[in-house]
Chain A
């Protein structure tokens, strides 16, 4: 099982970092680390799509936002005014709703977080299939623009509706209970458990994707990426495989959005913005398009630095610069670069 050796290292690293923060009394690092974990879910999914299936997506933040916003909206929208609606009472009987009282003593009814999660993921799947079918027939510039367009539409929709909080987004999102006593939330006291929950999800996702890459499907994806026409003639239904990969990566992004929203207690339209999508693409590019571990490592590094504010007001500019530098000098990603070859290339330019 040597393919899972890096996974073992990842698990060790996860545990190690947490113990390190405890030892050096820097437990406040756990928050950006946890957020980074959720962004990493988006990144590994995108890496599968871009690196293995060879399809670019400049709008993946859109899926993140669909998950996050739907989950947030369902768990914060007060359904008490609608309690006589038949659909609402049906949900109530199925145990999908949560009742309680807010700070001021008035009653509220929200959708239960698990139900909201399932609903958000289902919507994501539907949207991903609906968008994916026409979009994946496109290539090159057209594909890039179409995915960009999708991301912008999601962003505009998030900004436009009062239901989604317009420019302010949605806040006061409750925690997501996983097990009795264990919940995904921004609660101070559960920082450590949340850290492990988040990175646990990442480890699980990575395990699944590594398996996939080494399976018949992974081979088919690489074939599609390498020579799509030949793959088709070898009996691979290239359209369906590209579509399923697209949907899989969309679902990963959506799940990341759901849980990060519950962790942060809210979501804003910037999570759907172009800059976030560009950021994800930059990280996959710098990690090496078809390098899951590279993307994970670089993603963790860059996101931590960004979240800790190390890039200051140049945050977006940094990712833009990364994109350019990597694409100019190391299109195979940093970890795939061979220095002697790169030097030779630069010297040859002088001729």
Chain B
């Protein structure tokens, strides 16, 4: 394998990997505050791209993206308020089925609004033939945007959780909801906030990745599965581990193309998911005893 090809695979892996990581972090944020796995997580990414594309018809690109992210955050809040908020200690099974239903509805709505076609945002810099040389490979500058924006998001999130009051409140909720309520933290609002946050980062990721991966009404499901894989791989609930896991998955997928036909690429990530679930469900970095005690 030439250096150029290797770098090509490497960068593709990192690009996709960090997107999967963002989706995985979205899962973790909601899981940490509510214990729910939000199967509709991938739809937020799809919506971000789709709405930005539509907005771009009237707004300049940066504004369109901002508008899209805000709108998707609103949708995230709406989903929480309409479907999740007023459930009284639902069982895990019920929550799974509800969020699957939500993801189906969002996807079908997208199908009816935007049709089956493939769309994309324009490249942020240059166009589809502009390339830059990184590590010996020729890639679109968009790749740098994806990696850059997502990295900034991850850093911002960790700062948010560590140093801001809101962030610490959410961490408190995650650790012990009852205790948090007793301290005066409104857990209801924390839940809504977590949905908005997850939706927002998903939407932004959806926007930056749109020029290279394209956006279509049904990309949500695949992303959700990969995001879930990443969240589990890193150990459910840990965001830094999700980043590592995301990059790992992205790289495995990317380099696997050199060994198996493209049609099997999805099967690789799903097989990885199954392997993790069967062999090490607490993830690479998770703690087995802690995971056993969690309620699933």
Contacts and interface: CB of A to CB of B under 8 A. Distances in A.
Direct contact, A vs B (beta carbon within 8 Å): yes
Interface of A: 56, 58, 134-135, 137-142, 144-146, 148-150, 152-153, 156-157, 159-160, 274-275, 278, 281-282, 285, 313-314, 316-317, 319-324, 327-328, 331, 349
Chain B: interface secondary structure? helix
- Of the candidates A138, A141, A146, the one having the most CB atoms from chain B within 10 angstroms of its own CB is A141
Nearest to B105: A320
Nearest to B104: A320
Interface in B78-131: 83, 86-87, 90-94, 96-98, 100-105, 107-109, 111-112
A322 B86 CA distance: 18
B264 A160 contact: yes
B108 A327 contact: no
B221 A274 contact: yes
Contacts of A142: 232, 277, 281, 296
B105 A321 contact: yes
Interface of B: 37, 83, 86-87, 90-94, 96-98, 100-105, 107-109, 111-112, 221, 225, 228, 232, 261, 263-264, 266-267, 270-271, 273-274, 277-278, 281, 295-296
Contacts of B96: 56, 140-141, 144
A17 B176 CA distance: 57
Contact of A149 (B261, B264, B270): B270
A331 B270 CA distance: 30
Nearest to A326: B97
Given A141-B92, A149-B270, A328-B87, A316 B104 contact: yes
CB-CB nearest 9 A-B residue pairs: A320-B104, A140-B296, A323-B101, A317-B108, A324-B101, A134-B278, A140-B92, A160-B263, A149-B270
Contacts of A139: 92, 296
Given A152-B225, A323-B97, A324-B101, A160 B108 contact: no
Nearest to B228: A145
- Of the candidates B87, B97, B98, B102, the one having the most CB atoms from chain A within 10 angstroms of its own CB is B97
Nearest to A348: B88
B296 to A, nearest CB: 3
B97 A140 contact: no
24 contacts: A56-B97, A134-B278, A138-B277, A140-B96, A141-B96, A142-B277, A145-B225, A146-B278, A149-B273, A152-B270, A153-B271, A159-B263, A278-B100, A317-B104, A317-B105, A320-B102, A320-B103, A321-B101, A321-B105, A322-B101, A323-B98, A324-B98, A327-B101, A328-B98
A140 B93 CA distance: 6
- Of the candidates B87, B277, B296, the one having the most CB atoms from chain A within 10 angstroms of its own CB is B277
A247 to B, nearest CB: 18
Contacts of A138: 277-278, 281
Contacts of A156: 263-264, 266-267, 270
A149 B54 CA distance: 33
Given A140-B93, A327-B97, A328-B87, A152 B266 contact: yes
Contacts of B264: 156, 160
B105 A324 contact: yes
Nearest to A313: B112
Given A56-B93, A140-B92, A320-B105, 15 more contacts: A56-B96, A58-B100, A135-B278, A141-B296, A142-B232, A144-B93, A160-B263, A160-B264, A274-B221, A281-B97, A314-B108, A327-B94, A327-B98, A328-B83, A328-B98
